């Protein structure tokens, strides 16, 4: 689960205070919560989807071990 960073939240909302960031996101149709640490939390994938940026994060390619031969 990847969350937006503090810098990304500030950049997206123009606010530095978590409660204002949270209100901004909620008012604009985003799913946002204020955590117990009083920080605004929003999933990166949700943000990308709402912003029309595809919502898919680049996944690291996993090696294809089925191509490796066993010796012996």
Give pLDDT tens digits for 13-60. 999 999 999 999 999 999 999 999 999 999 999 999 999 987 555 566
Given this model, what pLDDT does residue 65 score? 78
Q: Which residue has the higher pLDDT, 61 or 22?
A: 22
Q: Which of 5, 3, 33, 4 is nearest to 19 (CA)?
A: 33
Given this model, what pLDDT does residue 64 score? 78
Q: What is the pTM of this model?
A: 0.72
CB distance 10 to 16 below 8 Å: yes
């Amino acid at each position: 689960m990847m969350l937006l960073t503090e810098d990304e939240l500030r950049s997206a909302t123009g606010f530095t205070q978590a409660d204002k960031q949270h209100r901004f996101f909620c008012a604009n149709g985003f799913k946002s919560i204020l955590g117990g640490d009083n920080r605004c939390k929003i999933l990166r994938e949700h943000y990308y989807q709402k912003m029309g940026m595809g919502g898919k994060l680049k996944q690291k390619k996993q090696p294809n071990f089925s191509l490796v031969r066993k010796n012996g």
